[in-house]
Chains A and B, each alone.
Chain A
Amino acid sequence: MTFAFAFLAVLMVASAGVAMLLRNLIHSALLLVLSWAGVAAFYLWAGAQFVAFAQLLVYVGAISMVVLFAVLLTRRSAGSVADVEPATFARAAAGLLAAGLVGGVLGATMLRSHFPTATGEAPKISVHDIGVDLMGPQVAALLVVGVILTVSLIGAVVIAATDPAATDKEDKP
């Protein structure tokens, strides 16, 4: 079991690390997907079947597509090498500041949260229990998430929608 965990951890960290170092954006994106798949495998290792498959479905299936499309549609040069401007002190400082802030927030949250130690045996939770829990006590959170996603979807449609009058003009010779 420990060996499997070590293998998964190395896979996750190594693929994410190599993704950062590579110059080819598509390769980086695909390695990131591998890292996400490693996270799913980790959930599976930990016995959280539902979360693992959801992770696989959402991250490997959907988010990866968003990332890949973003890379393909925003790439400027014909070669797929990321064209990063020369590093300056201001850029480095801004990057370090942002990283420090995110790290500070995450670290503070982790330090302040209380993790109760597992009591002997892991509870056996079926998908049915998760569903009942989501639809019962957690329904408010579920609804809020649904509303946020709907709003962002509508926003995306509004941004993507073109002016019908303008397209009509273009169509006519």
Chain B
Amino acid sequence: MTAPAPLTDSFLERVPLLVRDFITGWFPEPIRWVVAGLLAALTILLVFATIFALLTLLERKIIARVQNRPGPNRTGLPWLPFTEGRVFGLGQPLADGIKALTKEDIVPRDADQVLHFLAPVVLVAFSLMTFAVIPFGRNLVSVDLDAAVLFFFAAGAGTELAVFMAGWSSHNKYSLLAAMRALAQLISYELPLLLSVVPVVMLAGKLSTTGIVAAQAGWKFGFIPRWFVLSPWGAAGFVIFFIAALAESNRSPFDLPEAESELIAGHLTEYSGFKYALFFMAEYFGMMALSGLGVTLFLGGWQAPLPVLEVIPSYLWFGAKLMLLILLFMWIRATLPRLRMDQLTRLAWKFLVPLALINLGNAAFWHLSAAWPGLPLQAVRYAIGVAVIVIPFFLIGRRLSAGVAPRTYRYAP
């Protein structure tokens, strides 16, 4: 983290590090690394909290457009000139924030006061910790750990504990039930999530996020990026990873833990005011962190897709890919209905886990056949890689949907 920016990079590439060195320069040498760490944490907190605020608006806007409504468009920024006080509802996040801060904070009488208070704090803390190991740009990683991927999942494990604390401490049947369901879901989907990451670690030979990004550097034939998502096992792994990430971050169609129509918002039932906002924020942080990990592991991290496009700084590429994944999250939320509990666990255990295991073997094959000579043999290798994952996909899918799909409409032909 405290290494200086290499002079070979372009100026825009070096700007964040130069700013950091400028600020740490005010302090004496022995405590510079502490200042650098605090600065990184502060930057992550500010940047992602701002993105979170804007995402809440963007999500409402996008879902509104999908449902043919305008979405929030009244709350303006009154001090902006020439807008008559209305700019696409841009004031909405601000208004929401003020509302959440000034609302009464209600704690149920029978609730476990300490745990009820600690749950949102623990949740936000752990979901922020995961950002520490994500490389946001060429030299932009807060902590360059040797076992970074492991750290990411270890920190993510703490969020499950927070969900349990929230559900149990509320002293409410709905909260407790929902917390148990949420835990069942989180544990079920942790498995495919981890199994889809293992091939990446296997092929890159590293657990460090910067090392994995470096392993995806370069271009085949000068224009095809060597991102893992472009290999058969990588594509399959990415899809499994994304589905599991949807479930891990409680996003639709896996948002059962807080299903407002069944469990009256689940473990959040007894939370109000700013604590509720913290849960909401942690959900978005989790979504952004998992998207960031997906970008790092499968989409080449901060690498540009074409050599010519490397003039654009790496952190902008990372941001663009991150936004793409988040938009995918929102699109899916606007499109798919919520799953039932049994469908949810069945999808994880009977479909995603076997496929992820097969994909593990697929990645091993890809690794062993790397030295096959000639273009035709490489094409065969690619075809085998695709077949190994696509055929089981259809076989398992057909077996699971037997007697269920295709759906017949009795009254609406």
Contacts and interface: CB of A to CB of B under 8 A. Distances in A.
B157 A62 contact: yes
Contacts, number: 60
A19 interface: no
B115 A61 contact: no
Contacts of B164: 65, 68
Contacts of B165: 30
Contacts of A57: 150, 153-154, 157
A72 B167 CA distance: 12
Interface of A is mostly: helix
B86 to A, nearest CB: 47
B180 interface: yes
Contacts of B208: 127
Contacts of B147: 49-50, 53, 127
Interface in B136-168: 145-147, 150-151, 153-158, 160-161, 164-165, 168
B115 A30 contact: yes
Given A49-B147, A65-B187, A126-B146, A60 B158 contact: yes
A164 to B, nearest CB: 15
Contact of B205 (A61, A72, A128): A128
Contacts of B145: 49
A57 B151 CA distance: 8
Interface string B342-378: 0000000000000000000000000000000000000
B205 to A, nearest CB: 7
Contacts of A33: 161
Interface in A28-74: 30, 33, 40, 49-50, 53-54, 56-57, 60-62, 64-65, 68-69, 72
B161 A53 contact: no
Contacts of A128: 205-206
Contacts of A53: 147, 150-151, 154
B125 interface: no
Contact of B154 (A26, A61, A69): A61
Contacts of A72: 168, 176, 180
A121 B330 CA distance: 52
Nearest to B187: A65
Residue from the set A50, A60, A61 with the largest chain B CB neighbour count within 10 Å: A61
Contacts of B205: 128
Interface string A133-157: 0000000000000000000000000
Residue from the set A33, A60, A127 with the largest chain B CB neighbour count within 10 Å: A127
Contacts of A64: 161
Interface in A86-118: none
Contacts of A50: 146-147, 150, 207
Nearest to A68: B164
13 contacts: A40-B154, A49-B147, A53-B147, A54-B154, A56-B157, A57-B150, A57-B153, A57-B154, A60-B154, A62-B187, A65-B183, A65-B187, A128-B205
Given A49-B145, A54-B150, A62-B187, 6 more contacts: A30-B165, A56-B154, A57-B157, A60-B158, A61-B154, A127-B147
Interface of B: 115, 145-147, 150-151, 153-158, 160-161, 164-165, 168, 176, 180, 183, 187, 190, 205-208
